[in-house]
Structure 1
Amino acid sequence: MGSHVGIVGTGLIGASIGLALGQAGWTRTGCDADAEALATARMCGAIDTPVSGPHAVIEAGPDIVVLAAPPGAIRALVQDLDTDLLVMDVASVKSPIVEASRLARFVGTHPMAGREVSGPDAATPALFRGAAWVVTTDGASPEDIERVTAVIETVGARAVLMSAAEHDRAVGAVSHLPHIIASTLMDLVSDDALSLELAAGSFRDLTRVAGSSPEFWKEVLVANADVIAERVEAFRSRLDEMLSVIESGDIDAIADRLARAQQSRRDLGAPVGAIRVALADRPGELARVGQAFQRSSADIRDIQMRHAPYGGGGILTVSVNVDDVEIMVDALSAEGLYIIE
């Protein structure tokens, strides 16, 4: 396969693709409607050659073109571009784009990776490592699917093949509905200063995605509105059922529902253990944490920092593979850090 990619859209996803392929030796031509985003992408090394727009990307003759613009822009591009080059997109909703495409060679894809921050300055070549990356099979040739899969594997992700409709239904449950829940919950408590004062790890975990770009998400939610409506109704029904059980006072029934959810969550991935570290307001505190990480060689799954509301310091929560909890605690303690039991 060739090693020249054209990237249309140099935000978080497009720039991260550019960085990852750059590490693999690819040449990268890119464009973005936002001149500042394009300049930032070039400055951070996500692209080699900035050009004026999508048609200029095509004219550069890349081996594959990645459409990493917002969903509405991608839908317009797959209707308007005239090229025999292989084109893939990374939009979060697939059916409207696959159905709109007039391209000779098009494969709809969606990397199941991202961050709550956006823009090329948040890009990282590690964004896709180990992540599932959906490849839709609708109308695509086996050869083109194979070429797109090779690109996906080059950036460290694993391809998951399915239809566009299957994708949209699945992400409606595991991506779009959680975003609606997080945003609605934040809206519910936004004027409740006392509740927000008490917000800790579980609340912050649950609402993390509410910090994502509204400009991006408004397009995603509208594009998948039918599936989302179905998922919201199903969730509302489950909430009503749970409320009825709670109001009934049936302790065993409540425990049964919670236990089923607990087991499903455990089945989702490798179990993790959370270690809470009290950080003092003194120089070198985070450096000591870094030394502990290096010393332990533990499998770190997540890191969250909550600053103290009044003054310096704060609480660092480190999530590691459950088998590595003891070794991580020992390493942190050896650096003189205080572990909250």
Structure 2
Amino acid sequence: MLMAGTRLPLVEFRGVEKRYAGGSAAAVAALDLAIGRGEFLTLLGPSGSGKTTTLMMLAGFETPTAGDIRLGGRSLADRPPHKRNMGVVFQNYALFPHMSVAQNLAFPLRVRGVKGRKAADKVVAALTLVKLDGLGDRRPHALSGGQRQRVALARALIFEPDIVLMDEPLGALDRQLREHLQIEIKRIQRALDLTILYVTHDQGEALALSDRVAVFAGGRMQQVGTPGAIYEHPANAFVAGFVGENNRLAGTLVARQGDRCAIQLAGGQIIRATAADPLLPGDKVVAMIRPEHVQPGAVPPACCSTLEIDVDEFAYHGDHRRIAANVPGAGSLIIRVPVDMAAQRGDRMTIGWCIDHCLAFSASEIEPGKTS
């Protein structure tokens, strides 16, 4: 399951399953996934979806109940964590508080028998890589959260691992620092041609960093693909609703021709969409449309589907304003409009969209559940 043109897989999950004693459902089920050499792959999903369990099985901290995990074509079944040559970065840094930054970085080298001048040179190079030159003598408590995470990253890289595993590494940082470190992580990954398996529940982070994203829910991988494919062509209603922001409009399918369909909303209005499920007339459906794909003031033929809404609230967001609107008889939705657009609460507005941007899913599709 690699993108066309990518290099041979470094890591392969083959029919991997993980069950915990007393658990009614598998924490990870039927996982088939390959990670290419030099690829940045992110596991994305809500808490309890199975993404961290997947990372822990690869690291060797959890044992699969079934299936096989392979590194470089060889099974990891009998290889303990310390012999897997993997760098690991956690959210809580896991630095030794009684050691200096330089000593923290030298520790994995010492474990591997690298000492003296060679180790010292590697420490200096690692500090330079993460832009912490001159801070080797400091203790972790004297560093900021962002600096400590840079040290944790440098420690995971210093012994030249085959792959770097990162579990919510930026989760404890504020938004501005988190976005800055995202850029730094991507810079380092490209400079060193690293293979990275990254775990997060932050959709924006996954889309910004990854070559590919694997979306998890209920212990199963729902979809894997490029960020653009995941965002624009979700495989099911869960992916559409979880990745990014999506408006949901409930109604009944009244007509279908090919993948084009007409939906009658509860208030009686008819909208048009693209059927993403095998739907038939009379089926209860949910139409999903992203705020950026909604065009205010739209009229045919510029838009293939139009809808009347009532403006409820405006919110200023710097480069745009967000309108919270009511669709008579069918619920609410959010749209984005230019900052200077004249509108106020209570106004009636016509909106529209291209049919390709509005996806219709079966209302009976159950959102995948939560696992351990």
Question: What is the TM-score when the length of structure 1 is the normalising length?
Answer: 0.31
Larger Rg: 2
Question: What is the TM-score when the length of structure 2 is the normalising length?
Answer: 0.29
Q: Which has the higher helix share?
A: 1
Q: Which has the higher strand share?
A: 2
Structure with the greater relative contact order (CA < 8 A, sep ≥ 6): 1 or 2? 2
